[in-house]
Amino acid sequence: MRLAAEVDALAAQLKDSRARIQDLESRVDIDPLTDTLNRRGFERELRRSLAYVKRYGASAALIYVDLDGFKPVNDRHGHSAGDAMLKAAAASLSRNVRASDVVARFGGDEFVILLWNVSASTAETKARALEAAVYGTPVRWGSSTLVVGASAGVALLGALDTPAEALARADTAMYARKHERKELSASESDARSIVTQ
């Protein structure tokens, strides 16, 4: 009788342990702050996607997003404010893509989005829309309203791409976009100062 009770108790413990292991395995690819995929999870998805593009000739694009003006949020308002901004940005990005697309926090204030069945022009249009969506998502923090911008670079996925190559192209496109936005901002600022003189 006692042996049967011990066996039942061990079976229950084993069942609980298996459930916890399964829960932990499902979380290992998720960023706990933003509830999007983390870098590890996204790299796995990107490898799968590239294999699919190669095998079936599908079209897909990678958008690399870097938040503009994020460091001052952390510096002036603290890391909790920065965390709130990251959550808001991730939610905004996720709301503005299709369920079949993949959003991930790649690290720090950088996000990556994998879009399926898109042309180059559609991916560029989506990148600009995502920039606007992030900018249009202010965060109330105490008596302040916090706003950050975003620079988004696009790379179409090709059948011969490696994950590293696709990410490097999207990252380079993002930095080019960031430079373009800074130049645009500076010329707008110059134009405003000329008007006010």
Q: Reduced to 3 states, what is the DSSP secondary structure of residue 162? A: coil
Q: Are 148 and 85 in contact (CB under 8 A)?
A: yes
Q: Which distant-in-sequence residues (6+ apart) come within 8 Å of 105 by Cβ?
A: 31, 33, 34, 36, 37, 38, 39, 86, 90, 111
How far apart are the C-alpha atoms of 89 and 139, rounded to whole Å?
A: 10
Closest CA to 152 of 191, 195, 97: 97
Handedness of CA 81, 171, 177, 183 (dihedral sign): positive
Give the Cβ contact number of residue 193 at 10 Å: 9
- The one catalytic residue in 66, 101, 109, 161 is 109
How far apart are the C-alpha atoms of 154 and 168, rounded to whole Å?
A: 11
Check residue 65 and report its DSSP letter: E
Residue 109 annotated as catalytic: yes
CA distances from residue 46 to 14, 40, 86, 155 in whole angstroms, order as listed: 34, 10, 22, 13
Query: Known catalytic residues?
Result: 109
